[in-house]
Structure 1
């Protein structure tokens, strides 16, 4: 049966999400109405006197805070819905943070996961019906049927958000989190049923389709948080004390370092492949042995619990990476092929989990993160990337080495090959950065000089257009002269004299002082603007404006009718780049601002904190979406540089970047390493197992 048309159901689904947020007030009100009776019954059944007292206290505080909680819950829901729609699981846990979490944080996270599981269990029939309807209506998100924003986890996180914002003690907050989700289950079940009914296709109302829900892999693992913390805290020497290596030395093993060193010269890789395959040892992990059989063999070789846990973590990490939709199919294949050597590595070197600088982890991170530079396998440069990647990976796989040394050699080989393959990208980026650094230094100094001009007594009555010239392009001239002057002159180039002359020439009370200086002033302005490569057409436009302002001042001084100024409506930008700087950095100009009586100020800060150096983004251009990486931002945050896999660069000001973001012409692909995200997902699975 053909599925329903997506656009119609997407609009209906969005309406359902908004309605669910609006229903949050009634949901919270009903839950709080039954809270006193049910919580007091639970407290009465507790044998622990201390816990009973804490629960009763939480119940009393809940009664006092009821109006605020009921009113605020819809907004908390909306915020969590937004995070969920954006793909943010919202977990406060990361793999790297495990050793840093205190007991209270561990308890909070455990309570959060336990509450999610309890609420999901209470509404399971209605939730299954809703998820089946979403699948039938082709509304299942990329993350799978259980990744939709209406899932119980999002409601529990909304309670957690609300509790964190409330003026209550941690003990009270924790008991709210433990008991409130279960109290809202009846209302949430009715909301799920109502949404499923609205989304159900007409031809399937009688017998709703029940899509088989794929069992989540991470729920099958027996990892717990305490075990993960032990694994990450393991001493490197522990592996050295272990009984024997997983694989015994073979005739081939003594040739591994020499063979892998040849990978550094990618032109010899064909010879290397031939030699490796001719002498390949009879060891598991390649085409003739399934991965499952290989994992089973390694589990038999494990001598300690930490080794078994390491194998499980590597396996889950690889599964998460292979399922990541941001990785192109060819990259996912390579990542899957790397599982055998990474499993071997986990047995003999637990530093892989605790040391970000470990060669094995860096290799995997370089492969996955660099691949994000392309959104399609057909884009220029991707085939070269894959060729070098496959060559080095094949050598690593055929070597069957278990220690970190082989990963380090492969990593260095890949980095060197990619470095040599992208000379144009490197040169373009270096040239762009130099240009932008010069531009920022000049703009910062020009801004300070512009403020000093505005503070002068002669500037108080000057027209806004004249001040725009002096604090805009002429301030750039003054700054450039000071930055390049080697004589320690107080007024390099004599350009400071122009400021005084312009201020005199545009005001009726002062115009007489500049009566004989016009020719020299015009000559000096042309000279100064040429020193910053200002466009001649723009220079002429400013001179025309200043001439009109001078004529106006003269007419006002003599009492004659003032002429009409022809050159009004000039443009001013907050950060200015010279034409050569724009060319060298691929500068995207700011949208022009028409100068009236006031000059708009640029935004104070970026609206997206996640946009950090190294972030991959998609930028919307006339031809469609293109993949770029934020590779540099200026020290004072005025300018940002994006690089393309082709070697091209684009730069823009902070104001322009804000504008692009507000228009939806930039979407974030990845702000953090892909491998870190895969390990964080393993940690979340451990949290769920801890709460069971």
Structure 2
């Protein structure tokens, strides 16, 4: 599928649009700028189209999803962290690209939906997942963006081209392409999957806030607030009441007030809000009393952020009420110190983060320690709503008191320290990595195929753990510490009655030393005594055959009998009993312990979210684990270097560890599900950014 003629067609239309715009332009400077843009387009068109074809072919042939934030931005909006780290030009260009993608999607919607069904059917999927379609518009637009950069097209010129019919022409070209492909696939007998109901984040307005918007929440204004850049300096006729105090308020240093009268007015306004009894009344008083754009925007952003948190059902209702009561203090805070928006370590933001993060640990008001947690909030946080705020000191004090109370609770309630659990799991992973290499070497031995399965599995399971443990702790100065590797050949020989019958005296001398070394090695890894006895029973029956020349072969237990299941599984790692105790290790669940249907999943035609994989999990993510009766919440606190071990903890430090395979199995069975992959505060701020993005995208003629 050659992209060169497609882009040449698009660039020709853009050139004609630029020529028309230049002829109609009354400003000589602007006209010259457009002519330079046309000249650059003519010079670069062929190279740009050739590069576009190469990039697009790479995406299509490899079915590689472009590493671009554009698709997630168009679907769910920018993350506030992304916006905060963009300069003004980057932010404007990203918004222009999102606009272009939305326009292209609107043009291609009908044929693209049909094509998604055909493509997903050919990929063998059971449901339509639009993001699996390598021909979707974002792939073309991302290839175009990459080609722009590769051919050194300046950012302002790229934006000019995007502004002059490029999205419309590209959308029409893709619409024709998609329609043609659908017709061809239908004629070839391909049956398309029925499209699931999709909810587009940008096709609808966000849920309305509980107060009237100020009109200042646009993406460029919010970018200014989050970065501290004043991209729209106030003009003299705006009548900003506190103009003399604004520069000082936005300084990261301690604020100073050059005008005592204005400082008195601001103090009077903040003190007056203490007489109000509700967050709504405080908000309205501040909106009425302030006329500075940044202050008004700060009030709106805090109110929206708190509103989002208050409606976040992942937090229990008592916690959300505390956050609601905290809003007046936060509003007063951002009037005097807007560092709150750009400094993640700001005490007020840290307080909000810690309350909500710890609050995620509780799935029910009846959960252990929940009452004590809420009581700590009422003692340390709620009083802030009636406190005069002129700096961050009240938040520092509240945060210190909370941490002290929580630390005391954790000291009384928690079991093994997280550090102990991490150390145990690091030991387990290191040993298992060595054991895996030993298993690979053992599997090359032809003798391994000549012994009964329980013997082979013992050698590739418990005994490799023994050898690995000895090597891990004593292998620096000894090639075979404990002579455990030497035992392998002896054990293989002794487990073959056809061989031992030929040299019974050798077997008689070998057995005492063999059993002694086996017991010593298994003790090294705390191997369960019941499993040890089961293996010795199998081995003894094989040895007895050496003395029975005509007896039938002894029936040995089937594969894996008597062995710890995780020791014989090629997909999992083994954790010693002491390590399991230190880390709260969870064994691989049996099939009958897993739900046959997804718990709590309502019946719907909507497409369920894709199941995450262990490889994509990140430290800090909160999960819910189904324990047959209810959901228990825990946070992923550590992942081993090789990602074979995962450690979780609840709010009070109780740890639970799992292997990667166990995590994968629980995720696949929906017994483990993601509750929050970022903080509640970050999610709330992302929603504010999304709302600002919608305001900018839906404003006719608005610049991003």
Aligning the two structures, in what range does the TM-score lie when normalised by the shorter sequence? Answer: 0.5 to 0.7
Alignment correspondent of 1:540: 533
Q: How many residues are aligned here? A: 582
Alignment correspondent of 1:359: 347
Supply the RMSD in Å over aligned alpha carbons: 5.4
Distance in 2 between residues matched to 1:322 and 1:180, nearest whole Å = 42
1:122-144 deviations in Å (ceiling 9; x for gaps): 779x99xx9xxxxxxxxxxxxxx
Alignment correspondent of 1:667: 673
1:516 counterpart = 2:509:
yes
Shift of 1:399: 1.9
Q: Following superposition of structure 1 onto structure 2, how do residues 567-646 of structure 1 map, counting pairs within 5 Å? A: 567-570=557-560, 571=565, 572-573=568-569, 574-590=572-588, 607-608=613-614, 610-645=616-651
Q: Is the 8 A contact 2:216 2:296 kept in 1?
A: no
After superposition, the Cα gap between the structure-2 partners of 1:94 and 1:246, relative to the gap in structure 1 and judged at 3 Å, is farther
1:652 partner SS: strand
Shift of 1:617: 1.2
Alignment correspondent of 2:379: 391
Shift of 1:343: 2.1
After superposition, the Cα gap between the structure-2 partners of 1:156 and 1:414, relative to the gap in structure 1 and judged at 3 Å, is farther
Task: Tell me the TM-score normalized by structure 1.
Answer: 0.67
Alignment correspondent of 1:347: 335
Q: Is the 8 A contact 1:359 1:404 kept in 2?
A: yes
Distance in 1 between residues matched to 2:444 and 2:218, nearest whole Å = 77
1:41 counterpart = 2:41:
no
Any stretches of 5+ residues in structure 2 without a counterpart? 23-30, 114-128, 179-194, 198-203, 231-249, 592-611, 697-701
1:653 counterpart = 2:659:
yes
1:691 counterpart = 2:670:
no
Distance in 2 between residues matched to 1:116 and 1:458, nearest whole Å = 55
1:296 counterpart = 2:307:
no
Q: Is the 8 A contact 1:372 1:616 kept in 2?
A: yes
Task: Tell me the TM-score normalized by structure 2.
Answer: 0.66
1:661 partner SS: helix
1:335-392 deviations in Å (ceiling 9; x for gaps): 2322222222222223323322211110011112222112344544333322221332
Distance in 1 between residues matched to 2:44 and 2:660, nearest whole Å = 47
Shift of 1:406: 0.6
After superposition, the Cα gap between the structure-2 partners of 1:645 and 1:442, relative to the gap in structure 1 and judged at 3 Å, is closer
2:394 partner SS: helix
Alignment correspondent of 1:108: 93
Alignment correspondent of 2:427: 441
After superposition, the Cα gap between the structure-2 partners of 1:632 and 1:447, relative to the gap in structure 1 and judged at 3 Å, is closer
Q: Is the 8 A contact 1:589 1:656 kept in 2?
A: yes
Shift of 1:670: 1.5
After superposition, the Cα gap between the structure-2 partners of 1:662 and 1:113, relative to the gap in structure 1 and judged at 3 Å, is same
Distance in 1 between residues matched to 2:647 and 2:354, nearest whole Å = 21
After superposition, the Cα gap between the structure-2 partners of 1:484 and 1:291, relative to the gap in structure 1 and judged at 3 Å, is same
Alignment correspondent of 1:678: 684
1:403 partner SS: coil
After superposition, the Cα gap between the structure-2 partners of 1:160 and 1:340, relative to the gap in structure 1 and judged at 3 Å, is farther
Q: Is the 8 A contact 2:70 2:97 kept in 1?
A: no
Q: Is the 8 A contact 2:624 2:673 kept in 1?
A: yes
Distance in 1 between residues matched to 2:550 and 2:689, nearest whole Å = 81
Q: Following superposition of structure 1 onto structure 2, how do residues 183-332 of structure 1 map, counting pairs within 5 Å? A: 183=169, 221-222=217-218, 224=220, 227-228=224-225, 231=228, 234-237=250-253, 239-241=255-257, 243=259, 245=263, 283-287=274-278, 290-299=281-290, 306-332=294-320
Distance in 2 between residues matched to 1:682 and 1:106, nearest whole Å = 16
Shift of 1:113: 3.7
Q: Following superposition of structure 1 onto structure 2, how do residues 544-559 of structure 1 map, counting pairs within 5 Å? A: 544-547=537-540
Alignment correspondent of 2:200: none
2:636 partner SS: strand
Distance in 2 between residues matched to 1:60 and 1:424, nearest whole Å = 71
Distance in 1 between residues matched to 2:18 and 2:272, nearest whole Å = 65
Distance in 2 between residues matched to 1:374 and 1:384, nearest whole Å = 12
After superposition, the Cα gap between the structure-2 partners of 1:648 and 1:442, relative to the gap in structure 1 and judged at 3 Å, is closer
Distance in 2 between residues matched to 1:189 and 1:644, nearest whole Å = 51
Distance in 1 between residues matched to 2:196 and 2:483, nearest whole Å = 74
Q: Is the 8 A contact 2:336 2:391 kept in 1?
A: yes
1:142-171 deviations in Å (ceiling 9; x for gaps): xxxxxx999xxx976455345457796464
Alignment correspondent of 2:403: 415
1:528-563 deviations in Å (ceiling 9; x for gaps): 3244332223112322444466678x69xx998983
Q: Following superposition of structure 1 onto structure 2, how do residues 13-28 of structure 1 map, counting pairs within 5 Å? A: none
Distance in 2 between residues matched to 1:642 and 1:227, nearest whole Å = 38
Shift of 1:404: 0.7
Q: Is the 8 A contact 1:111 1:177 kept in 2?
A: yes
1:237 partner SS: coil
Instruction: Give the one of 316, 334, 337 matched to 2:325.
Output: 337
Instruction: Give the one of 29, 38, 42 matched to 1:52.
Output: 38
After superposition, the Cα gap between the structure-2 partners of 1:243 and 1:475, relative to the gap in structure 1 and judged at 3 Å, is farther
1:460-488 deviations in Å (ceiling 9; x for gaps): 53347445423421233345556777998
Distance in 2 between residues matched to 1:354 and 1:529, nearest whole Å = 56
